[in-house]
Structure 1
Amino acid sequence: MALPEIIRQLLENGVHFGHLSKHWNPKMKKFIFGKKKNIYIIDLEKTAQKLEEAREFLKSVAQNGGKILFVSTKRQLREVIKELAVMCDMPYVCERWVGGFLTNFATIRERIKKYITLKEKREAGEFEKMPHKEVVRLNKELERMERMYSGTVSLEELPQCVYIVDPKREIACVREANKLSIPIVALIDTDADPEVIDYPIPGNDDAIKSVKFITQYLVKGILEGLEKLDRPTPKSEEKQDTHLSSEEGK
């Protein structure tokens, strides 16, 4: 019997490979199909089900104009996550999670504003008028801020949702989101706790191919939501509609 298309794609992209059996979280047992050569094999039917649930949720968030913060600081995944977040015009953190990013967002937002201001000054040539030592100091500060905040410039308020790759690694982000009741969608391997995640997607969270496939699938849902985004009708159009209605009534 032929495999369903989504299961075949998950299989081809290695989403079913979990961690070594000695590195596991018992709470992931319900998502495990079996074990091969001391490596857990993830149940792809359950992955497909959870993936679809997560996609529909993210689609609804996007459709309602919400921001989804992408978080993945693994070196090998940074470019993939950044590229896909940019594709759907969502903010991202791919270098280092700054403590208090969510729970102390007002302060973080002020730092982001400072980063934007410094960048604008440099681009406007204002650094050229400053003493050399000051320019060196500001350039170093800008480089540091670029790594931490460049992906979150568009985030003017707390995100409506967080998408995380490997919640065990990004536990600080998980704790902050949980504290603020911000929903979490996460690609979660056999070594993590699914109970702290609102929409867990069991799967390989280390391999680039696996992470890219899962994230692309979710991004397609986000893009579908953005296409149906409920935008307020411009006042000019409202006036025109009112005028047409009154004309028709004459």
Structure 2
Amino acid sequence: MTDGISSISPQLLQNMLEAGVHFGHQAKRWDPHVKPFIWQSRDGIHIFDLLKTAQSLQIAGEAVKQHIIDGKNILFLATKRQASGLVRDEAIRAGMPYIVSRWPGGMLSNWEQINKSIKRMHYIESGLESGEFKHYTKKERVILDRELTRLKRLFVGVGDLKNPPDALFVVDITREKSAMREAMAKKLPIYALIDSNANPNLVDFPIPGNDDAVRSISLLTKLFVDYIVEAKGIAEKSK
């Protein structure tokens, strides 16, 4: 593992500063458990200690590297509007599953049913492409089209999963309460961007910082995915 403060480059801290990673929520909206990561309050806004953010990112990054080298996957979750597109793109870069529209209840707690829905999505898509349903009436094909649209909206990012995810990466745990409950019940490792209104003790690897601004989410997610890409390269070379 990299060695603490000495390995954190000034350029990384500058990039975080320029991306607004240091801006938290209004001080009156904070979760007291996040106090160790707060530098100060300025004009009623909590300011993150970027050195601690960088250290937390390193800890999370080294952990996820080992996770990937061990052959496990990680599900990326971000349903808030400003995060969904960029998190989807980073998950694709990492070669990992993602959910960016709405959390499908039971994704972790009722995998058997979720897997049936994923298989149903593939079946309808394949059948429509191959002409298997050409003998159906127009109304029946419209119903299939609508069902496929609904299933793809939920499961397009997890369509290649054969088994439940091994871990979770979350943007905004205060928003993704259902997913958090399922992950904690299953004792899955949770990596997450933690803003000043969230409890970092709810996740295994908190990355404290602004989880509302696009540039902040983009930078922190990219840096996290860089560790995954590096780990996949290491795993490939060791084959």
Q: TM-score, normalised by structure 2?
A: 0.93
Deviation at 1:64, TM superposition (A): 1.6
TM alignment of 1:173-184, pairs within 5 A: 173-184=179-190
Aligned-pair CA distance for 1:231: 8.7
Name the structure 2 match of 1:132. Answer: 138
Residue 40 of structure 1 aligns with which residue?
Answer: 46
Deviation of the 1:229 alpha carbon: 1.8
Paired residues of 1:67 and 1:155 also in contact (CA < 8 A): no
Residue 99 of structure 1 is matched in structure 2 by 105
2:220 aligned to which of 214, 228, 231:
214
Instruction: Work out the CA distance in 1 between the residues paired with 2:57 and 2:210.
Output: 13
Partners of 1:51 and 1:138 in 2: how far apart? 44
Superposed CA offset, 1:89-129 (max 9, x none): 10000000011110111110111111111111111123333
Q: Identify the residue that residue 90 of structure 2 maps to in structure 1.
A: 84
- 2:121 alignment counterpart: 115
Separation (CA, whole Å) in 1 of partners of 2:197 and 2:102: 21
Superposition pairs of residues 1-16 of structure 1, within 5 angstroms? 4-16=10-22
Consecutive unaligned residues in structure 2, runs of 5 or more:
1-8
CA contact (8 A) 1:64 1:230 kept: no
1:240 counterpart residue number: none
Q: 2:26 aligns with which of 14, 17, 20?
A: 20
CA deviations 1:24-83 (Å, max 9, x no partner) are 111111111111111110111110000001111111111121111000000121110111
Output aligned runs, 1:165-204, within 5 Å.
165-204=171-210
2:24 match: secondary structure = strand
Q: Structure 2 counterpart of 1:86, which letter?
A: I
Determine if the alignment matches structure 1 residue 146 to structure 2 residue 152. Answer: yes
Aligned equivalents of 1:179 and 1:75: distance in 2? 27
> Do structure 1's residue 73 and structure 2's residue 85 form an aligned pair?
no
Q: Which has the greater radius of gyration?
A: 1
Which sits farther off after the overlay, 167-176 or 120-129?
Answer: 120-129
Report the Cα offset of residue 166 of structure 1.
Answer: 0.6
Give TM-score scaled by structure 1 length: 0.89
1:108 alignment partner AA: I
Shift of 1:5: 2.1
Seen in structure 2, the aligned counterparts of structure 1 residues 232 and 157 have a Cα distance that, compared at 3 Å, is farther
Report the Cα offset of residue 9 of structure 1.
1.4
Task: Render the CA deviation track for 1:126-176: whole Å, top value 9, x for unaligned.
Answer: 333310110111111111101100000122112221000011111111111
Unaligned runs of 5+ in 1: 234-250
Distance 1:129 1:21 in 2: 62
In 2, the alpha carbon distance for the partners of 1:61 and 1:230 equals: 14
Measured against aligned partners, the alpha-carbon deviations of 1:198-248 in whole angstroms (never above 9, x if no partner) come to 000000001110011001101111011111226996xxxxxxxxxxxxxxx
Percent identity among equivalent residues? Answer: 40
Q: Give the Cα–Cα distance (whole angstroms) in 1 for the partners of residues 177 and 189 of structure 2.
A: 14
**Are residues 1:52 and 2:58 paired?**
yes
> Could you tell me how far apart the structure 1 residues matched to 2:133 and 2:233 are?
41
Moved over 6 A (4+): 230-233
Q: 3-state SS of the aligned residue for 2:134?
A: helix
Aligned-residue CA RMSD in angstroms? 1.5
